[in-house]
Chain A
Amino acid sequence: MSAAMNRALPLLAAPVAFFIAFFAVPMIVVVSSSLMAGGVPSLGNYARVLLDQYHWDVLAATFRIAGLTTVACALLGYPLAYYLVRVVKSAALRRTCVILLVLPLFTSNIVRSFGWMVLLGRNGLVNDALVGVGILDRPMRFLGTELGIVIGLVYILLPFIVLAVGNALAAVDPALEDASSDLGATPFDTFRTVTFPLCLPGLMSGIVMVFTLAVSAYVTPALLSGGKITVFPMLIFQQYSTVFDVNYGGALSMTLLVMTLVLVGLAGWIGNAGATGRKAQ
């Protein structure tokens, strides 16, 4: 055991060093700068953030946008993953679909958000189509609305949930579903009581990934909001890049981090409680 440990240590050294250098140190720098005001240790930056209703409004908008994005991603991503894993029989076709799904991830976020700016504009393809088909009388405003930001974020984050759910679905043993239908369950009952609960961990991890990425997204909201809606990462970016107040910026960053961790932890706790409750039945 100790010999194995000794062999493992040098192998671990690289990732640990990487983690310390690129995660722990920057985090410590941000935390310590957030606790300084005017050159002396102080909680003043946090008071400035937390005692101001404006910041709570922005935080609420940020979580509302991230929440809607997560719900939309889950509703769109789950059926898509199910289709890819269960319905598509040809391995080649499935591989093509997965490549098509992942391909946009190779393009920069900025380019894709600019693309959406063009598509969602007053004279953009989306409005042209909606007006052309007769759904709308005149172009609808997408840019500068929360809906526009959610559309852009869903497009960017959908692959994460599809891959997470797809992996979980592929790992479900089909024998369990066969056993369920042998015992007389309808296909819907089998899905509800066997398949869905078994891939719930995959769905949950996808949801957490999408939610945290949506909360911390800067580029997409900055471009698609047209500067008319503010999300928390935009406030942080302003402080670091144009106002140069790293102390206040640090306090904003830590506030967002802690609030997000609390929400994700809460979701995990509710999920666990639900799972335990079901087992107890």
Chain B
Amino acid sequence: MTRTRAATRTVSRFAALSAVLAAGVSLYALPAAAQGEIRVAWYGGNWGEAFRTCVAEPFTKATGVRVVPEIGTSTVTFAKLQQQKDAPTLDVAYMDGGISEMAQAAGVLDAIDPTGVPNLAKALPEAIYKADGSIFAAGSGYYSLGLTYNTKEIKTPPTSWNDLWKPEFADTVTIPSPANSSGVPFVMFLNRMWGNPPGDLSKTFEKLKTLKTALYFDSSGAASNAYQSGEAIIGAHFNVGAWDLADKGLPIGFVVPKEGVWATDARLHLVKNAPHKADAQRFIDTALTPEASACLAEKLYLGPAVQGVSVSSDVERKLPWGVGGSVKNLKLFNWADINRDRAAITDAWNRELARQ
């Protein structure tokens, strides 16, 4: 009996303690909220760092509003937005093309209003994404999947995607697998490049079967690792990752082949029912300035999605469209088509290519 009472006392003590803790937490949280802060979801690694330096810091300097980052891949951010649909804590979300369309369809995005975000007027027309007449996303910079090669092993730069099938490159090629966000679109890109009918990928898979690869990469990191170790000496890679390797002094080259490159972008989204909508709009406005775009171009080689951005010539040649190119040179696919065929292409890949 005494033991029971002791236990009850312990429990109530716990309850009292947690009440005190909760009160303390809310007291602590209040002043921070009063100063103003917004929560922005972006990616990890050097991407997150670049968004912080190029967008968040200038934004905080101009407005005094603190930016709390939530690090995650586009997929994770999309999952978070779906979970917090009824009471969101995020204000702005960076997500890649593809996931962006899915978030729009899931109804977790608010319309970006040009009156609240005046810099939308400076954005490239390609970088403004509309559904049902309203803007659901604004491009924040393009990146492409181009032809990447080891300059020490390959003296003459490749000029065509078909060069990957040359016998001298047997067993040293790498291309993305469908576990990578570029995997499915890359198959569709090749299908279109070879002039095969859009609804029938069988010929494209037949051709892919004859490609002698070292590996299919599932993450950008795995691709970088393969080029760095010499496991792969030619193949596909993102301009962001390839030039990052070259900047570190590795013998890596990146070219836009004559057939062009598939590309997509990182996009800004205003979260539906965002707790700090006005500040969130100002954040997006800051991200769409030429200064922020130039900064992202310098740090990540993201192709600017706003007009009037000037960068050094060394940065310019590393942009997703290559020397002398522009957004017109990028093969930007309709993500609705890619998302529709995603399950079927992944399944076909598994059965045709991902088994010995």
Contact = CB atoms under 8 A, between A and B. Distances in A.
Contact of A243 (B7, B216, B346, B351): B346
B21 interface: no
Contacts of B139: none
B349 to A, nearest CB: 9
Nearest to B75: A241
Interface string A118-148: 1001111000000000000000010111000
A4 B3 contact: yes
B214 A243 contact: no
Given A122-B230, A242-B342, A243-B343, A229 B354 contact: yes
Interface string B8-39: 00110010000000000000000000000000
A46 interface: no
Given A121-B230, A222-B179, A54 B354 contact: no
B178 interface: yes
Given A10-B7, A123-B230, A54 B215 contact: no
A57 B355 contact: yes
Contact of A118 (B184, B229, B346): B229
A121 B216 contact: no
A6 B4 contact: yes
B160 interface: no
A238 B179 contact: yes
B181 interface: yes
Interface in A182-227: 222-223, 226-227
Contacts of A118: 225, 229
Q: Interface centre among B183, B231, B353, by most A CB within 10 Å? A: B231
A227 B350 contact: no
A242 B343 CA distance: 9
Contacts of B225: 114, 117-118
B75 A227 contact: no
Contacts of A223: 218, 222
B355 A229 contact: yes
Interface class of chain A by DSSP: helix
A230 B350 contact: yes
A242 B180 CA distance: 8
Given A10-B7, A57-B355, A114-B225, A122 B179 contact: no
Contact of B215 (A9, A124, A143, A237): A143
Given A7-B4, A117-B229, A238-B346, A144 B215 contact: yes
A235 interface: yes
A121 to B, nearest CB: 4
A228 B354 contact: yes
The bracket for how many chain B residues form the interface is 35 or more
A3 interface: yes
A64 to B, nearest CB: 12
Contacts of A7: 3-4, 6-7
A238 B178 contact: yes
A17 B271 CA distance: 32
A226 B350 contact: no
Interface in A232-250: 234-235, 237-238, 241-245
B246 interface: no
A159 to B, nearest CB: 25
B217 interface: yes
B46 interface: no
Contacts of B172: 122
Interface in B316-356: 342-343, 346, 350-351, 353-356
A141 to B, nearest CB: 8
B208 interface: no
Contacts of B184: 242
Nearest to B73: A241
B1 interface: yes
A118 B221 CA distance: 13
A237 B179 contact: yes
Nearest to A146: B356
Interface of A: 3-4, 6-7, 9-10, 54, 57-58, 114, 117-118, 121-124, 141, 143-145, 222-223, 226-230, 234-235, 237-238, 241-245
Given A117-B231, A118-B225, A227-B215, 13 more contacts: A7-B3, A7-B6, A114-B221, A114-B225, A117-B222, A121-B229, A143-B231, A222-B179, A227-B216, A227-B354, A228-B216, A234-B179, A242-B75
Interface of B: 1, 3-4, 6-7, 10-11, 14, 75, 102, 171-172, 177-179, 181, 183-184, 213-218, 221-222, 225-226, 229-231, 342-343, 346, 350-351, 353-356
15 contacts: A3-B1, A3-B3, A6-B4, A114-B225, A117-B222, A122-B214, A226-B216, A227-B218, A228-B213, A228-B215, A228-B354, A241-B75, A242-B183, A243-B343, A245-B343
